[in-house]
Amino acid sequence: MASMVTNPVTNANSDRSKRKKKKSMIMEDNHQSYARWKSEAQQQIYSSKLLQALSQVSLNTSSSSAPRGGRAVREAADRALAVAAKGRTRWSRAILTSRLKLKFRKQKRQRGAAVAAVTGSSRSKKPRFSVSKLKSKSLPAVQRKVKVLGRLVPGCRKQPLPIILEEATDYIAALEMQVRAMTTLAELLSGSGVASSGSALPPQSPPPSQ
């Protein structure tokens, strides 16, 4: 009978130890992911995926639906980064699914425009009064900053603060690695371009002897 009586002090201690263990595991995972993005091996993996993505961009430049210029390069670099993350994080999964969402939205708009053209009905859009903007102005400064941070990290717009901080730590480390890889790639390409242009120059004739 006495064994069935629960001790509140023991339960509180066990809950506290579980929370500490979970927190330490999260911190260890964050440290491992940050160290992974710092490694040369991960940068080489991303560089190879980036070259593949950029080659696809050059092949799809003739398509009218494909994004052009710097936007296409940025999207290819972000998709390669998400593929390198293997979809283990929210931000990588959000980047991989964003292209499909944009495609579905475009198809939906085209269907709506076609229906409106056939039926001849066009709805006049009224100016919408945004309640969320008023709410955001009344929020404390810390909550406003958390909201902004959630918008900057893909897939974290409506997530709580611990998840936003965890995702932001991994996302920032991945972006730093992306900058290093793209800088190295740009230097290699510019160096090869200078070398090829130098080899194409005609040999200079010696000055005439006086």
Tens of pLDDT, residues 123-171: 555 555 444 554 556 678 888 899 999 999 999 999 999 999 999 999 9
Do the beta carbons of residue 78 and residue 91 sit within 8 Å?
A: no
Rounded Cα gap, residues 49 and 43, in angstroms: 10
Q: What whole-number percentage of the chain has pLDDT above 70?
A: 51
Structural domain count of the chain? 1
In a domain, 172, yes or no: yes
Q: What type of residue sits at position 108? A: K
Q: Which of 148, 140, 139 is nearest to 168 (CA)?
A: 148
Give the domain range for residue 68: 41-120+139-186
Q: Which of 175, 149, 172, 171 is nearest to 161 (CA)?
A: 149
In a domain, 200, yes or no: no
Instruction: Look at residue 69 and tell me whether its pLDDT is greater than 90.
Output: no
Q: What whole-number percentage of the chain has pLDDT above 90?
A: 28
69 or 97, greater pLDDT = 97
| Backbone phi and psi for residue 12, each to the nearest 5 degrees, phi listed first | -65, -40
Q: How confident is the model at residue 98, as a pLDDT?
A: 85
The burial class, CB within 10 Å (0-12 / 13-18 / 19+), for 92 is: buried
Q: How confident is the model at residue 80, as a pLDDT?
A: 93
